[in-house]
Amino acid sequence: MNTNPKKILVTGVAGFLGSNLLSKLLLEGHNVVGIDNLSMGSLKNIEIHLSHENFVFLENDILDKSAIDALDTDFDVIIHLAAYKIPRYGKAVDTLRINSKGCENMLEFARSISCKFVLASTSDVYGMSNDLPFVEDGNCVMGDSKVPRWAYAVSKLYDEHLALAYMEAYNFPVVMLRFFGSYGPNQHLSWWGGPQSVFIDCILNNKDIPIHGDGLQTRTFTFVDDTVAGIYAAAIKPEANGEVFNIGADQEITILELANTIKRIADVPTDSKITLIPYDQISVGRKYQDVMRRVPDTTKAQRILGVKEKTSLEDGLRQTFEWQKNISLEKSN
Ligand SMILES: NC(=O)c1ccc[n+]([C@@H]2O[C@H](COP(=O)([O-])OP(=O)(O)OC[C@H]3O[C@@H](n4cnc5c(N)ncnc54)[C@H](O)[C@@H]3O)[C@@H](O)[C@H]2O)c1
């Protein structure tokens, strides 16, 4: 148990990372106020903590300044997770608006109470860079503006710059965390949760497993406990202040291998076959660009935050499969 409890504000607390982080913060004895408008998160993710004496949940929107102005003013840390991800099916305005205005509102609040601010950024900011593995001070190479996916990366890059500019102008600490494909319990069961989520869902429901392009694009996947360990260390350790960190695992795997690994570990009979879907069929009428390789250099997080991936991909996928299977069973009962 932590001997120096802090009061921590978490935005996006009912989402995938937020709910897992909440469990860790309460376990460590901190006081947590969590905000979420439940647009993509769910009360079910945090229901076991709703009556915890050290937790207050506020169903608020971070775009609503009056709700932010009404918050307590004695926080030690703000962990800003609330955001919209890649606009796969339209809604780019939501991504741009929530990630820019929402972040600005939370930074203004941090400035007004002089409080440390931890920002959830993304590996997507490295964009089309070929400088592998991605190092925090490497180049961020954005693709064509007509490709909607870049709205997400651009909005998060803007957030990083805004946070650093606030730190310089108003003298309070900020930390930027670039997450690489986190997965595990409470992940969304659609593309919002990542490919592993869709592939497991397909196997459980005997549907074909859709893979975009030739499936040879690579990613790394981080079990959520390891992602949470990175967020926690960044929030607690003063050495993290003013820094950008990659938070991820470094086992590079093609999407095709990911699908085959999940098929292999699945302990249910399935007829699911892998189907390759050409990129021009994914987003008809909209231009699409994929990232062909994505691998983090994690040495900075190891050196300063003291965190390193603990859960192997196979172990993490097994745990995630079990969780998703139980969710599926609950739904069908
Ligand atoms: N999960 C990953 O692998 C990953 C990778 C890269 C970056 N990130 C970033 O980490 C953060 C958390 O990701 P996640 O996977 O938990 O996503 P998530 O969608 O599960 O969680 C985000 C939460 O924010 C809430 N939210 C959205 N707009 C809001 C608003 N206007 N006001 C209040 N709440 C709002 C949603 O309801 C949701 O509960 C995000 O900033 C995301 O961009 C995550």
What CATH number is given to the structural domain containing 23? 3.40.50.720
Per-residue tens of pLDDT for the chain, all 333 residues: 566 879 999 999 999 999 999 999 999 999 999 999 999 999 999 999 999 999 999 999 999 999 999 999 999 999 999 999 988 777 899 999 999 999 999 999 999 999 999 999 999 999 999 999 999 999 999 999 999 999 999 999 999 999 999 999 999 999 999 999 999 999 999 989 999 999 999 999 999 999 999 999 999 999 999 999 999 999 999 999 999 999 999 899 999 999 999 999 998 888 899 999 998 887 767 888 999 999 999 999 999 999 999 999 999 999 999 999 999 888 887
Q: How far is the CA of 306 from the centre of ligand 1 (A)?
A: 25
CA nearest ligand 1 atom 11, residue: 81
Pocket test for ligand 1, best of 38, 40, 78 (most atoms within 8 A of CB): 40
From CA 59, how far away is CA 79, in angstroms rounded?
16
Look at residue 220 and give its three-state secondary structure: coil
Q: What is the DSSP string of 11-35?
A: ETTTSHHHHHHHHHHHHTT-EEEEE
Residues marked as catalytic? 152
Q: Let me know if residue 267 belongs to a domain.
A: no
How far apart are the CA of 20 and the centre of ligand 1, in A? 12
254 within domain boundaries: no
Ligand 1 site, CB within 6 A: 12, 14-18, 35-41, 61-63, 81-85, 98, 102, 120, 122, 179, 181-182, 188
Q: Is residue 232 part of a domain?
A: yes
Ligand 1 centroid to Cα of residue 268, in Å, is 31
Residue 272 counted as domain residue: no
Domain count for the chain, please give it: 1
In a domain, 320, yes or no: no
Does the predicted TM-score (pTM) go above 0.75? Answer: yes
CA distance 61 to 44: 18
Atom 12 of ligand 1: nearest residue by CA position: 81
- Residue 279 included in any domain: no
Residue numbers of the domain that contains 81: 7-182+222-248+296-309
Structural domain includes residue 314:
no
214 located within any domain: no
